[in-house]
Structures are given as C-alpha cells and as structure tokens.
C-alpha cells in the first residue's frame, strides 16, 4: 500500500469510529430516557394510589363517624327527651341514619379496590359494631382502622 492509500484508509477509519461513537451515545441517551420515563411512571402511579387510598380512608372514616354521631344523638333524643319514634326530630334522625347507611357501600368500594385490606376490614368491623350498638367493639375497630391507615399511608407520629 502506498502512503496515500494508508492516509485515506486512516481518515475513513477515523470517520467510522467517530460515527459509531456518536451512534452509541445516541442509543445510550435514548435508552436512559426510556428507563427514566418508566421509573417516573411507577413513582407517579404509586403516588396516585396513595392519594386515592388516603381519600378513600378519610371519606370512609368520616362517614362512619357521622353514622356514629347520628346514632348517639338519636339514642340521646329518644332517651333523654322522651320523644316517641313518631316525633319529627326522631323521624329526621332515622332518615339521616338510613341515608348514611346507604352511603356505606359506596364509601367502602374504593377501599375494597385500592386497599389496603386491613383498613377496609377495620372499617367494615367498625360499621358492623356501630350497627349492633356495641361501643367497645366499635372503639377497638376504630383503633385498628386508624393504626392500619397510618401504617399503609406511612404517616409518622
């Protein structure tokens, strides 16, 4: 080979090496972008699930407490004020109690689907205990509900 041919070959080889290096750099950049997007997507999904679990837990707890407060008021009105079941205030409280009771299934659905399971179980146990007017079981279930919710939502105290 002549010196001119060697110089030409070296120039072509250098160009191929530079082109290959650039292509490898582009490929690595694209791959890193896809990996980063996948990681970000998983983070966003976990955040969304945690937010929805929080909303479902708070909604269910608020509904159960409203049910409990309404039952307590209904019992107090009937007992302390000597009202009959036909009294307008008792009728209104019973109607509110029925409306709250009807809302329980709707409020439980997100907990059943999104979880966490211990929160849903404790909420159901609390509701059942309130319906049975078993105060000690309701208080124990409420404590389990709060502990399970804090644990699942990673609430630090």
Q: How far apart are CA 18 and CA 156, in angstroms?
A: 54
Q: How far apart are CA 105 and CA 102, in angstroms?
A: 7
Element spanning 138, H or E: helix 135-153
Give the CA count within 13 Å in the CB-facing half-sphere of 154.
5
Q: How far is CA 109 from the centre of its chain?
A: 12
Q: How far apart are CA 13 and CA 115, in angstroms?
A: 61
Q: Number of folded domains in the chain? A: 1
Confidence (pLDDT) at 117 = 87
Write the pLDDT tens digit of every residue in 26-49.
899 999 999 999 999 999 999 998
pTM: 0.65
Confidence (pLDDT) at 101 = 76
Q: Which domain holds residue 68?
A: 3-153
């Amino acid at each position: 080979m002549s010196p001119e041919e060697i110089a030409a070959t070296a120039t072509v080889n250098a160009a191929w090496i530079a082109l290959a290096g650039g292509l490898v750099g582009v490929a690595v950049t694209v791959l890193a972008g896809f990996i980063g997007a996948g990681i970000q997507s998983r983070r966003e999904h976990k955040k969304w699930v945690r937010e929805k679990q929080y909303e479902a837990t708070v909604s269910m707890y608020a509904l159960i407490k409203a049910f409990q407060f309404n039952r307590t008021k209904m019992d107090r009105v009937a007992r302390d004020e000597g009202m009959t079941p036909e009294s307008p205030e008792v009728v209104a409280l019973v109607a509110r109690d029925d409306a709250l009771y009807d809302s329980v299934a709707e409020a439980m659905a997100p907990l059943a689907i999104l979880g966490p399971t211990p929160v849903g179980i404790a909420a159901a146990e609390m509701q059942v205990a309130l319906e049975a007017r078993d105060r000690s079981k309701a208080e124990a279930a409420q404590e389990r509900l709060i502990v399970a919710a804090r644990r699942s939502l990673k609430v630090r105290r």
